[in-house]
């Protein structure tokens, strides 16, 4: 049985050396970088966004931590957050190479610029390393263990060309220069050219470099269908001449919505990695870096702001600002509050209708707002209900990062059904009101819409109950043939009712 010794910043195995093990010492060690290599993401940035997700007030402290230097930043973040090693996105190709090296009897080391406590947590979880060292450990003398500092440390420990090194970025070029074999994961064309200019030959491991597809996935363009609600004031008032400004407002909201989806995924990084389905999202899986995500957020918001000013309506700018602040509050705080999250989600749906009115100058009907309030509360409750159904199927009692238990399902179902039926009642009262006389010459055709709403809302509830609601209800409806058929039928009835003078 090997004798295990551990000290702060490094762990190692002390073995009784047989003849085979002595021969293995002649083989070069395999040294593995952690961030972007063994772990597909950067644990420092992951920890920062996790901290901000827990407490947005951390943003006020970040400038001070950054001003003190990289080592001080890593120390401050690690003092407050060590990521759960079990949930990190590991690179399968790197793990396979590590296991192969161990089978050959080679020493395997995890050497990273990350804080030594995070490095040790990963090494302890995997149990594959003879040595694990990070920034802040006694062996690193307080330096940031990256680039030339890491190269110097490894050359002194293993000797020049006495180790193979797996890395992923330009910061590893100095280390590869000291290594016997330079192994790279997710090699980019830029990195390849830089290595060749320094006379280095990189051996690729696993798949190629990063692409823009994960970013597009994280932006969720399919969710833009929810912004069709912005067109509702134009359609309800029959003011088709205002369709142009409404479409521009829809584009602006889509850009802002994508920026919020990125922020939302960053805030949910830890909980998404613990979720059976959401762990495959770009940030959670490590296929999209935090830095790329934050850069994209800035570009999307900047573009949306420029387009918003072209509408030249102060009311729309106010609604857009409110939408962004409300969605930010929802992502980082409100969605963790019991029932508050459903009310907030329903409100975010309704804000889109206000945006349509503000962009076009159309005064919103009280009937439309009352109908929207009940309808969107029902759909928001259905969305949360769908998540609980997934949790119940997986055998878990509570939702990570939420305030619900799976035992709450009957209550959520009752709220969704009751609110949906109230929306149908409001629509029926609207059909029987004097307001419809102005817009429709055949009011009786509008009554049939009530039956379609009854059917559609009841079916949405049944689909959720059966575990088939795997997306936002509105997005689901845009992909569901039956829902689209209901939409076409409603549109046909509205045309049949005819517009009045």
Give the C-alpha separation, 137 to 7, whole Å: 9
Average pLDDT over residues 366-377: 91
Backbone angles phi, psi at 31, to 5 degrees: -105, 130
Give the C-alpha separation, 273 to 277, whole Å: 9
Half-sphere exposure in the Cβ direction for 69 (13 Å, CA): 6
0.75 exceeded by the pTM?
A: no
Give the C-alpha separation, 371 to 114, whole Å: 53
Q: In the structure, what pLDDT confidence band is assigned to residue 398 with cuts at 50, 70 and 90? A: low
441 vs 466 pLDDT, higher one: 466
24 vs 152 pLDDT, higher one: 152
Q: Where are the beta strands (DSSP E) in 193-347?
A: 202-205
Q: To the nearest whole number, what is the mean pLDDT of the chain?
A: 85
Among positive and negative, which fits the CA dihedral 319, 322, 323, 324? positive
Answer whether residue 445 shows pLDDT above 80. yes
Most confident stretch, 48-62, 112-126, 474-488: 112-126
- Nearest alpha-carbon partner for 227 in 207, 196, 248, 201: 248
For residue 130, give the 3-state DSSP assignment: coil
Tokens of residue 179, six digits: 């290594």
Residue 36: count other Cβ atoms within 10 Å of its Cβ.
22
- Nearest alpha-carbon partner for 420 in 440, 450, 445, 386: 450
Note the pLDDT tens digit of each residue in 401-414. Answer: 667 888 888 999 99
Answer whether residue 15 shows pLDDT above 50. no
343 vs 26 pLDDT, higher one: 343
Tokens of residue 23, six digits: 């021969």
pLDDT confidence of residue 422 = 95
DSSP secondary structure string for all residues of 339-362 = THHHHHHHHHHHHHHHHHHHHHTP
For residue 11, give the 3-state DSSP assignment: strand
Q: In the structure, what pLDDT confidence band is assigned to residue 470 with cuts at 50, 70 and 90? A: confident
- Residues, the chain: 501
Tokens of residue 126, six digits: 């995997």
Give the C-alpha separation, 35 to 144, whole Å: 14
pLDDT confidence of residue 104 = 93
220 vs 210 pLDDT, higher one: 220
Give the C-alpha separation, 187 to 205, whole Å: 8
Answer whether residue 18 shows pLDDT above 60. no
Cα-based distances in Å from 109 to 65, 128, 170, 300, 342: 29, 9, 20, 41, 48
Give the C-alpha separation, 354 to 326, whole Å: 14
Tokens of residue 225, six digits: 């269908």
24 touches 102 (CB < 8 A):
no
Cα-based distances in Å from 78 to 25, 71, 115, 134, 140: 34, 11, 7, 12, 17
Note the pLDDT tens digit of each residue in 79-126. Answer: 999 999 998 999 999 999 999 999 999 999 999 999 999 999 999 999
Give the C-alpha separation, 231 to 334, whole Å: 27
- 206-215, 224-233, 471-480: lowest mean pLDDT where? 206-215
**DSSP category for residue 206:** S
Q: In the structure, what pLDDT confidence band is assigned to residue 207 with cuts at 50, 70 and 90? A: low
Tokens of residue 388, six digits: 């609980």
176 touches 182 (CB < 8 A):
yes
Q: In the structure, what pLDDT confidence band is assigned to residue 13 with cuts at 50, 70 and 90? A: very low
Task: Please give the angle made by the CA atoms of 62, 64 and 68, to the nearest 5 degrees.
Answer: 115
pLDDT confidence of residue 400 = 60
What does the buried/exposed string (b/e) look like for 141-160 if buried means 16 or more CB atoms within 10 Å of the residue's CB? Answer: eebbbbbebbbebbbebbee
Answer whether residue 211 shows pLDDT above 90. no
Average pLDDT over residues 148-153: 92
Domains of the chain, residue spans: 3-205, 212-333, 365-501
- Nearest alpha-carbon partner for 301 in 263, 351, 331, 245: 263
CATH architecture of 3-205: 3-Layer(aba) Sandwich (3.40)
Answer whether residue 446 shows pLDDT above 90. no
pLDDT confidence of residue 501 = 42
- 30-34, 67-71, 379-383, 388-392: lowest mean pLDDT where? 388-392
Give the C-alpha separation, 319 to 353, whole Å: 10
Answer whether residue 163 shows pLDDT above 90. yes
């Amino acid at each position: 049985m090997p004798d295990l010794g551990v000290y702060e910043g490094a762990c190692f195995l002390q073995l009784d050396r047989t003849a085979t093990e002595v021969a293995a010492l002649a083989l070069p060690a395999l040294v593995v970088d952690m961030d972007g290599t063994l772990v597909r993401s950067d644990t420092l940035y992951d920890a920062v966004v996790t901290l901000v997700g827990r407490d947005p007030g951390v943003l006020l402290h970040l400038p001070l931590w950054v001003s003190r230097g990289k080592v001080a930043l890593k120390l401050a973040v690690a003092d407050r957050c060590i990521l759960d090693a079990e949930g990190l996105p590991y690179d399968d190709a790197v793990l396979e190479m590590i296991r192969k090296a161990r089978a050959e009897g080679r020493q395997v080391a995890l050497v990273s610029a990350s804080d030594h406590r995070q490095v040790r947590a990963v090494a302890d979880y995997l149990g594959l390393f003879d040595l694990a060292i990070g920034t802040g450990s006694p062996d690193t003398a307080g330096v940031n263990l990256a680039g030339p500092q890491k190269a110097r440390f490894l050359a002194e420990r293993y000797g020049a060309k006495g180790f193979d090194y797996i890395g992923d970025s330009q910061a590893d070029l100095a280390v590869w220069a000291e290594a016997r074999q330079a192994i790279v994961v997710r090699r980019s064309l830029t990195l390849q050219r830089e290595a060749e200019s320094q006379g280095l030959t990189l051996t690729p491991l696993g798949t190629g470099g990063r692409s823009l597809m994960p970013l597009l996935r994280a932006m969720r363009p399919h969710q833009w269908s929810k912004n069709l609600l912005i067109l509702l004031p134009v359609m309800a008032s029959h003011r088709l001449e205002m369709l142009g400004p409404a479409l521009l407002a829809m584009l602006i909201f889509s850009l802002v919505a994508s920026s919020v989806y990125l922020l939302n995924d960053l805030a949910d990084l830890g909980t998404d990695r613990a979720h059976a389905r959401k762990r495959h999202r770009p940030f959670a899986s490590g296929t999209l870096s935090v830095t790329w995500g934050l850069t994209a957020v800035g570009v999307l918001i900047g573009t949306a702001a420029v387009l918003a000013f072209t509408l030249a309506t102060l009311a729309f700018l106010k609604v857009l600002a409110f939408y962004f602040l409300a969605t930010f509050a929802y992502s980082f705080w409100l969605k963790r509050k019991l029932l508050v999250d459903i009310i907030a989600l329903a409100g975010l749906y309704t804000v889109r209708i206000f945006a349509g009115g503000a962009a076009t100058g159309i005064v919103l009907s009280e009937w439309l707002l009352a109908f929207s309030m009940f309808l969107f509360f029902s759909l928001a409750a259905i969305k949360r209900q769908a998540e609980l159904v997934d949790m119940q199927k997986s055998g878990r009692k509570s939702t990570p990062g939420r305030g619900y238990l799976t035992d709450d399902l009957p209550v959520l179902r009752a709220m969704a059904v009751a609110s949906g039926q109230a929306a149908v009642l409001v629509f029926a009262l609207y059909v029987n009101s004097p307001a419809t006389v102005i817009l429709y010459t055949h009011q009786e055709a509008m009554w049939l819409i009530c039956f379609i709403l009854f059917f559609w809302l009841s079916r949405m509830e049944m689909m959720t109950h059966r575990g088939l609601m795997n997306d936002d209800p509105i997005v689901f409806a845009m992909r569901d043939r039956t829902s689209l058929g209901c939409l076409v039928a409603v549109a046909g009835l509205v045309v049949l009712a005819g517009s009045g003078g």
